[in-house]
Amino acid sequence: MVASFGDQVLRGKKVVVSAGPTYEDIDPVRFIGNRSSGRMGFAVAEAAAQAGAQVTLVAGPVSLTTPAGVVRRVDVRSAAQMHAAVTDAAQSADIYIGSAAVGDYRPNAVAAHKLKKHDGADLTLQLAENPDILASLAAAQPHPFLVGFAAETQNVETYARDKLQRKGLDMIAANQVGEGLGFETADNAITLYWADGSLELPRTDKAALARQLIECIASRYKAVRG
């Protein structure tokens, strides 16, 4: 599929993109994070802007410059902050693309001071599950057209279709991580799934992949929302 943006497929649409990891603080010097560079999400934000959308980018801790054409960037650290920023921006959005690798758990309590070692004893951290941003958007009416990502190490289609249905999404972009693809790499390959269809986007650089993804989102958006 060749993505052509001559016709500005998302002209005038408000699009919110989340990108990057979240960091869940343990104490003032430590956190729980995940392996996400944010590059795929930033490429998606840039492609949406090129397609004529008014893009808000909600970014976790990443070292990336704001893509050309993005009108608003909100930097966050934790999943709770990302949840609040996305919920706020999604109020007036037509499309939400959740490409962030949101931390699933956070420490029950953040220690006020640096935790110290205790003579070789084990340390146990109590973790609480974070709310699901996509599922909480889906539960509100009306809500934007919702696109999720699923990075899986096995059973990609089964897990992706399960997330599509369970979270009430319009579309999910799934990829197998490992084998030089996915996190912290320049290339990626994804398969898009929606209720009654799918589309495979073969391995290419993240910018080209993001343009193809935006093309497909725009066409599904028009099919479902008119």
| Interacting residue with ligand CTP among 14, 39, 106, 163 (CB under 6 A) | 163
Q: Would you count residue 156 as binding ligand CTP (CB under 6 A)?
A: no
Nearer to ligand CTP, 52 or 58 (CB): 58
Q: Which residues pair with 107 in a beta bridge?
A: 127
Point out the catalytic residue in the list 34, 130, 155, 188: 34
Cα-based distances in Å from 135 to 79, 130, 148, 169: 14, 12, 10, 8
Q: Would you count residue 17 as binding ligand CTP (CB under 6 A)?
A: no
What DSSP string describes 154-203? S-HHHHHHHHHHHTT-SEEEEEE-BTTBSTT-SEEEEEEEETTEEEEEEE
Q: Would you count residue 220 as binding ligand CTP (CB under 6 A)?
A: no
Binding span for ligand CTP by CB under 6 A among 5-13, 47-55, 146-154, 179-187: 146-154
Q: Using omega within 30 degrees of 0 as the cis cutoff, is the peptide bond preceding 142 cis?
A: yes
Binding span for ligand CTP by CB under 6 A among 61-69, 99-107, 185-193, 208-216: 99-107
Please tell me the count of residues contacting ligand CTP according to CB under 6 A: 14
**Three-state secondary-structure class, residue 33:** coil
Point out the residue whose Cβ comes nearest to ligand CTP. 133
Q: Would you count residue 152 as binding Ca ion (CB under 5 A)?
A: no
Quick check: is 155 catalytic?
no
Contact 51, 212 (CB under 8 A): no
**Three-state secondary-structure class, residue 55:** strand
Binding span for ligand CTP by CB under 6 A among 9-17, 61-69, 130-138, 199-207: 130-138
Q: Would you count residue 98 as binding ligand CTP (CB under 6 A)?
A: yes
Question: Which ranges of 51-110 would DSSP assign to H, the alpha helix?
Answer: 79-90
What is the Cα–Cα distance from 22 to 129, expressed in whole angstroms? 13
What is the Cα–Cα distance from 131 to 136, expressed in whole angstroms? 8
| Interacting residue with Ca ion among 25, 27, 94, 104 (CB under 5 A) | 104
Nearest distance from C-beta of residue 110 to Ca ion, angstroms: 21
| Interacting residue with ligand CTP among 38, 52, 67, 148 (CB under 6 A) | 148
Catalytic residue ranges: 34
